A = this chain, B = another copy of it.
Protein backbone atom coordinates (compact mmCIF):
# COMPACT_ATOMS: atom_id res chain seq x y z
CA UNK A 1 0.00 0.00 0.00
CA UNK A 2 1.10 3.54 -0.60
CA UNK A 3 2.47 4.70 2.74
CA UNK A 4 4.70 3.27 5.41
CA UNK A 5 4.65 5.13 8.70
CA UNK A 6 7.05 4.51 11.52
CA UNK A 7 5.35 5.57 14.74
CA UNK A 8 6.62 5.85 18.28
CA UNK A 9 4.79 7.39 21.17
CA UNK A 10 4.99 7.24 24.95
CA UNK A 11 3.78 9.13 28.01
CA UNK A 12 6.28 11.44 29.74
CA UNK A 13 4.61 11.26 33.15
CA UNK A 14 4.62 7.52 33.85
CA UNK A 15 8.24 6.91 34.80
CA UNK A 16 10.92 4.93 33.05
CA UNK A 17 9.03 1.80 32.09
CA UNK A 18 6.58 2.61 29.38
CA UNK A 19 6.19 -0.86 27.81
CA UNK A 20 2.60 -1.21 29.02
CA UNK A 21 1.66 2.03 27.23
CA UNK A 22 3.54 1.14 24.09
CA UNK A 23 1.80 -2.24 24.14
CA UNK A 24 -1.56 -0.52 24.20
CA UNK A 25 -0.67 1.29 20.97
CA UNK A 26 0.73 -1.85 19.36
CA UNK A 27 -2.48 -3.70 20.27
CA UNK A 28 -4.51 -1.02 18.47
CA UNK A 29 -2.27 -1.19 15.41
CA UNK A 30 -2.53 -4.99 15.18
CA UNK A 31 -6.28 -4.90 15.67
CA UNK A 32 -6.55 -2.49 12.71
CA UNK A 33 -5.73 -5.26 10.27
CA UNK A 34 -3.10 -3.12 8.53
CA UNK A 35 0.31 -4.59 7.79
CA UNK A 36 2.69 -3.76 10.61
CA UNK A 37 6.05 -4.62 12.09
CA UNK A 38 7.23 -3.97 15.64
CA UNK A 39 10.83 -2.70 15.75
CA UNK A 40 13.08 -1.81 18.70
CA UNK A 41 12.36 1.91 18.24
CA UNK A 42 8.78 2.05 16.99
CA UNK A 43 6.18 0.31 14.88
CA UNK A 44 5.97 0.40 11.09
CA UNK A 45 2.44 0.51 9.65
CA UNK A 46 1.56 0.10 6.01
CA UNK A 47 -1.64 1.14 4.25
CA UNK A 48 -3.29 4.02 2.50
CA UNK A 49 -2.56 7.44 4.06
CA UNK A 50 -6.08 7.92 5.48
CA UNK A 51 -6.32 4.53 7.11
CA UNK A 52 -2.82 4.69 8.61
CA UNK A 53 -3.43 8.17 10.00
CA UNK A 54 -6.73 6.99 11.53
CA UNK A 55 -4.77 4.32 13.41
CA UNK A 56 -2.16 6.89 14.52
CA UNK A 57 -5.04 8.97 15.89
CA UNK A 58 -6.47 6.01 17.82
CA UNK A 59 -3.06 5.26 19.35
CA UNK A 60 -2.64 8.86 20.43
CA UNK A 61 -6.15 9.00 21.97
CA UNK A 62 -5.50 5.76 23.87
CA UNK A 63 -2.41 7.21 25.53
CA UNK A 64 -3.71 10.75 26.04
CA UNK A 65 -6.81 9.53 27.89
CA UNK A 66 -4.83 8.81 31.05
CA UNK A 67 -1.60 10.77 30.67
CA UNK A 68 -0.82 14.44 31.08
CA UNK A 69 1.96 14.52 28.53
CA UNK A 70 2.56 12.36 25.45
CA UNK A 71 5.53 12.53 23.09
CA UNK A 72 5.10 11.17 19.57
CA UNK A 73 7.39 10.91 16.58
CA UNK A 74 6.33 9.79 13.13
CA UNK A 75 8.16 9.29 9.87
CA UNK A 76 6.22 8.61 6.67
CA UNK A 77 7.44 7.47 3.28
CA UNK A 78 4.63 7.68 0.72
CA UNK A 79 5.11 6.32 -2.77
CA UNK A 80 2.35 6.30 -5.35
CA UNK A 81 1.17 2.78 -6.14
CA UNK A 82 3.58 0.95 -3.84
CA UNK A 83 2.63 -2.61 -2.95
CA UNK A 84 3.94 -4.78 -0.10
CA UNK A 85 6.24 -2.01 1.03
CA UNK A 86 7.11 -3.42 4.44
CA UNK A 87 8.72 -6.42 2.82
CA UNK A 88 9.82 -4.78 -0.42
CA UNK A 89 11.81 -1.98 1.24
CA UNK A 90 14.13 -4.21 3.25
CA UNK A 91 14.38 -6.71 0.38
CA UNK A 92 15.53 -4.06 -2.09
CA UNK A 93 18.22 -2.93 0.35
CA UNK A 94 19.34 -6.54 0.90
CA UNK A 95 19.48 -7.07 -2.87
CA UNK A 96 21.50 -3.89 -3.39
CA UNK A 97 23.80 -5.00 -0.58
CA UNK A 98 24.37 -8.38 -2.24
CA UNK A 99 25.32 -6.57 -5.47
CA UNK A 100 27.77 -4.32 -3.65
CA UNK A 101 29.40 -7.32 -1.97
CA UNK A 102 29.72 -9.23 -5.23
CA UNK A 103 31.53 -6.31 -6.78
CA UNK A 104 34.19 -6.26 -4.07
- Which A residues lie at the B interface, using CB under 8 A? 4, 6, 8, 12-13, 15-16, 19-20, 22-24, 26-27, 37-42, 44, 46, 49, 53, 57, 60, 64, 67-80, 85-86, 89-90, 92-97, 99-101
Contact A16 B16 (CB under 8 A): no
Contact A41 B44 (CB under 8 A): yes
Given contacts A40-B86, A49-B60, A53-B57, 15 further A-B contacts (CB under 8 A): A19-B95, A19-B96, A22-B93, A24-B100, A26-B93, A27-B97, A37-B40, A38-B90, A40-B44, A40-B89, A40-B90, A42-B75, A64-B80, A70-B78, A74-B75
Q: What is the count of identical protomers in the complex? A: 4
In the complex, chain B residues whose CB is within 8 Å of the CB of A12: 12, 16
A13-B13 in contact given A69-B79, A93-B26 (Cβ < 8 Å): no
Contact A96 B4 (CB under 8 A): no
> How far in angstroms is the closest Cβ of chain B from A99?
8
In the complex, chain B residues whose CB is within 8 Å of the CB of A100: 20, 23-24, 27
